Structure 1
Amino acid sequence: MNIGAVDHIEFYVGDAQQTAFYLCTAFGFRVRGQAGPETGHGDRRSLLLSQGGTDIVLTSALSPDHPAARYVALHGDGVANIAFEVTDTVRALAEAVGRGATVVEEAETFRRDGTEVVTASVLGFGDVAHRLVQRSGDRSDFLPGVMDIFADDPEENAQLLHTVDHAAVCLPAGELCPTVAFYEKVFGFSQIFEEFIEVGEQAMDSKVVQSPSGKVTFTLIEPVADRQPGQIDAFLARHGGAGVQHLALLTDDIVTTVPALEARGVKFLETPDTYYDELTARMGRPELRIEDLRRTSVLVDQDHWGQVFQIFTQSMHVRKTFFWEVIDRHGARTFGSGNIKALYEAVAREKALA
């Protein structure tokens, strides 16, 4: 199966317009299109948001029968579909089903003015699906005949964030290895990293799987059942099962991007000064100035290929489940030995202060 990059992320939300206002105001996304009663789809309201190479679809149910209504009732706002670019949707669907995937949406073709988009969806983890998307023609026409695309915004807009780097997924205890095996078998992903994390009396297992293209990466996390419940258990309880805990968006200048996002209203988790006091002894001198990292609360780690810099937002979700990450890679291909633990501890600090 020839999977390229992430085509788009679809969120099911209670109020698409309100969520779009936040993402545009705080993160710099722009509304680029819409679907709904005006386009002949009276059961939903969908808004297409874009920034750099990231497309996000926000969908709210206008009918109790739409899947978004059931999703939001169970989980609250959250990621419902992580779409993959493919070269042949029909063939990819047949391969996925033949390898054990469950169909969510049968193949469907959308055409307008020489543009053609073919989509289908299969179930991934929990009730999160993967839409298989084949595009030809004008790629700016996101879903021909379904979504109206707005004229380009003439206002200058700095591109702070570029693409989806990875998605972090929380799984119930015992589902980590079967989920890794599922992505290896169905989609041809490979496991590229694993780590066992202990924080006090809490612990979790993590494995990272990645597509052959290297452009789709999932960090899969499960709690350790015989340890004290922690923030992964809290996510699973509040979310109502497996789901996306956070999405990481890639930037090429994190110490500039973070203050710019803060000025727009984004709230990030704070990192204690002791982290930076001990940084040089732990890993040597980072490629970015420690003073800049301290000022912005950015974390740093490294692997065999280079360093990775990252920071996590506070959760704006009413259930305190989903949040965002901003990440800047300086050659690093994975997450280093300390970043997952740093995430766990950062979320634990926020929970302790709540």
Structure 2
Amino acid sequence: MARIAARALAAKGSCVLVPPVRVQDALGAATYTVVSSPAGNLSLTLLERTGYRGPFLPGFRPLSSKTGPGWFSHVDHLTLACTRGSSPTLMRWFHDCLGFHHLPLSPGEDPELGFEVTAGSGQGGLRLTALQTRPCSAVPTLVLAESLPGAAGGPDQVQQFLARHRGPGLQHVGLYTPNITEATEGVTLAGGRLLIPPKAYYQQPGKERQIRAAGHEPNQLALQGILLDGEKGKFLLQVFTKSLFAEDTFFLELIQRQGATGFGQGNIRALWQSVEEQAARGQEA
């Protein structure tokens, strides 16, 4: 199947970067191949492991509590920073080639327009388009992020990513955790640097009541920089790290879902403002 899929993608314009390779151990054999995508230098690894009885691939072993903290269970989503106006083309490619479908982030959302997050008059904003495969699939959700026109205060974080990364690419990975306060504490103690939301975020009208309704303490979330969004018993908690590399591009998101299936639309603007404020402080320093 990996060989057939690679040939099919090559027929649609992808380059086969790594021809099919067969690997095996005592638990069976698997095949992988690497192909290019239309999203900058982002490449895709295709795995065929129907004949493999191990947990993942030959040479891998499951992580036990004795060898790691187990803060995260799986990858929740991947976000790509894209050039302005490219989201519809990328969405069609991921649909036609890999079977992804549009996942609305707001009721009645036009897939060609996506979900717009404006940052205020003359400040631009973000356009987000979410894609997913079939329900209950183990494949992470894919989010396309591009800048809206109109920013007057210099390049935003997507534009900065494109410049520093020298093109489109993977902006962040969302890691799912069943306990975000514990995971955040562990990441911090391990040396992880977290992005701090604006202080006004936790002072919004109704925010304290919302946090308590989700079963959390407002002071604890504020201390750790954890964002919370949701209503009607369905909540989403998020915290973001600073960039992992000197280029100030790629970062991680820790995410806990309490019944919510979206991406914390109410938190997106808070994250935007937080990143922009810290970028401004960095330019002043």
Query: TM bucket by the smaller chain?
Result: 0.7 to 0.9
Partners of 1:153 and 1:231 in 2: CA distance: 37
Match of residue 9, structure 2, among 96, 99, 107: 96
**Structure 1 303/186 Cα, relative in aligned 2: closer, same or farther at 3 Å?**
farther
What residue is the counterpart of 2:109 in the other structure? none
What residue number does 2:21 align with?
108
Could you tell me how far 1:240 is from its partner in structure 2? 0.3
Counterpart position of 2:140: 216
Post-superposition Cα deviations, 1:232-257, rounded to whole Å, max 9, x if no partner, equal 11110011000111111111011122
> 1:206, 1:221 within 8 Å by CA — same for their partners in 2?
yes
Partner amino acid, structure 1, of 2:69? A
The answer for unaligned runs of 5 or more in structure 1 is 1-87
Three-state SS of the structure 2 residue aligned to 1:218 is strand
- Tell me the distance in 2 between the aligned counterparts of 1:167 and 1:151: 22
**Partners of 2:65 and 2:264 in 1: CA distance:** 41
Pairwise CA distance, 1:141: 7.3
Q: Which residue of 2 aligns with 1:227?
A: 151
What displacement does 1:219 show? 1.1
**Which amino acid letter does the alignment assign opposite residue 35 of structure 2?**
V
Q: CA deviation at 1:97?
A: 3.9
Verify: 1:185 aligned to 2:111, yes or no. no
Are residue 269 (structure 1) and residue 195 (structure 2) matched?
A: yes
Distance 2:205 2:6 in 1: 47
Instruction: After superposition, give the CA deviation of every residue in 1:35-54 in whole Å (9 maximum; x if it has no partner).
Output: xxxxxxxxxxxxxxxxxxxx
Give me the whole-angstrom Cα distance separating, in 2, the residues matched to 1:243 and 1:303: 33
- Is the contact made by 2:124 and 2:149 (CA closer than 8 Å) also made in structure 1? no
- Number of equivalent positions: 263
Q: Is the alpha carbon distance of 1:153 and 1:327 closer, same or farther for their aligned partners in structure 2, counting shifts above 3 Å?
A: closer
Match of 1:292 among 189, 195, 220: 220
Partner Cα distance (2:249, 2:116) in 1: 22
CA offset digits 1:150-179 (Å, max 9, x no partner): 898894532112211111110111211111
Could you tell me how far 1:324 is from its partner in structure 2? Answer: 0.9
- 2:273 corresponds to which residue? 345
Which whole-Å CA distance do the structure 2 matches of 1:329 and 1:353 have between them? Answer: 32
The answer to whether the 8 A contact 1:115-1:141 is kept is no
Deviation at 1:224, TM superposition (A): 2.2
Letter paired with 2:182 = T
One-letter code of the match for 1:210?
A: Q
Percent of aligned positions that are identical? 24
Distance apart, 1:322 and its partner CA: 0.9
In the alignment, which residue of structure 2 is the partner of 1:301? 229
CA distance in 1, matches of 2:89, 2:61: 43
In the alignment, does 2:110 pair up with 1:196?
no
Alignment-mate amino acid for residue 115 of structure 2 = E
CA RMSD of aligned residues (A): 2.7
Taking a change above 3 Å as real, the CA distance of residues 255 and 176 of structure 1, as seen in their structure-2 partners, is same
Q: Deviations over 1:109-147 (max 9, x none)?
A: 22333521111222221111111111233425734xxxx
In 1, the alpha carbon distance for the partners of 2:48 and 2:22 equals 9
Report the CA distance shift for 1:283/1:243 in structure 2 as closer, same or farther (over 3 A).
Answer: farther
The aligned counterpart of 1:175 is 86
Q: In structure 2, do the counterparts of structure 1 residues 276 and 115 end up closer, same or farther at CA, with 3 Å as the change threshold?
A: same
For 1:293 and 1:256, locate their aligned partners in 2 and report how far apart those are by CA, in whole Å: 11
Any stretches of 5+ residues in structure 2 without a counterpart? 105-113
Is contact 1:96–1:187 with CA below 8 Å preserved after alignment? no
C-alpha distance in structure 1 between counterparts of 2:268 and 2:62, whole Å: 41
Higher strand share: 1
Query: Does the residue aligned with 1:262 lie in a helix, a strand or coil?
Result: helix
Distance change (3 Å), C-alpha of 1:167 and 1:154: closer
The verdict on how the C-alpha distance between 1:241 and 1:331 changes in structure 2, with shifts beyond 3 A counting, is same
Q: Does 1:117 align with 2:30?
A: yes
Counterparts in 2 of 1:90 and 1:259: CA distance versus 1, 3 Å = same
Which amino acid in structure 2 is aligned with residue 269 of structure 1?
Answer: L
Letter in 1 for 2:42: V
